A = this chain, B = another copy of it.
Amino acid sequence: MAMARHKGDHEARRRDVSAAVWRVLASHGFGGLTLRAVATEMGATTGLLTHYFPSKKDLIEHALTLLDEHRMADRPTEFPDGLAGLRAMLLEILPLTEQAVTSNRIWVGSWDAALANPELAAGHAVRYRRSRERIRTQVVAAQQLDELPPSDPDDTATALLSFVLGLIVQTLLDQAAFPAGQQIRLLDQRLAELARTIQ
């Protein structure tokens, strides 16, 4: 059958493939990620995939790298200083939109593979260390503005990331119980509690 030829540039096509990888990961998890599944997901064959990616590992790596960049690009680089900025930053992480649900579902799913592969685990360790660092910066700023009482910002950042990650997990496993409004309410309560704590 004569297929329509996409003269478009190489890189755009690789992005299409990666998008298909995301959709398969989101619906079938890492356990269900096969070349055939990705191919049928985008209405193509494995021949196309191997034309753009030499191996499955390359395919996954590129898709995850792109997902990470995508996520970074979607959210503001700079948040306003202080508590409001901290709140905005944490809201960006939570699965509040369909998009965010999908991307979080992929990251949660990647933990199994990461825990079985030290190399992947190291990558995740770096990633979450960076998250903590970014949260820490906002905590310090809020403290300097007297919006938060003094505390060890490292511990506070770790505690906040823990809270957010745990809420993500509970939400994904029981989305009906944690609609967006509920998640936001819980986060606001958490931040209010932080602000009202006696030192």
Contacts and interface: CB of A to CB of B under 8 A. Distances in A.
Interface of A: 27-32, 105, 108-116, 121, 124-125, 128-129, 155, 158-159, 161-167, 169-170, 172-174, 177, 185-186, 189-190, 193-194, 196-198
Contact of A170 (B110, B161, B193, B197): B161
Contact of A166 (B125, B164, B174): B164
Contacts of A189: 155, 159
Nearest to A29: B116
A32 B30 CA distance: 11
A149 to B, nearest CB: 10
26 contacts: A28-B116, A29-B115, A31-B31, A32-B116, A108-B115, A109-B111, A109-B116, A111-B111, A111-B169, A112-B112, A125-B173, A125-B177, A129-B174, A158-B170, A158-B186, A162-B162, A162-B170, A162-B186, A163-B163, A163-B166, A165-B170, A166-B166, A193-B197, A196-B197, A196-B198, A197-B198
A39 to B, nearest CB: 19
Contacts of A164: 162, 166
A108 B186 CA distance: 23
Contact of A116 (B27, B121, B125, B177): B27
Nearest to A189: B155
A116 B166 contact: no
A158 B124 CA distance: 25
Given A166-B161, A173-B125, A186-B158, A109 B112 contact: yes
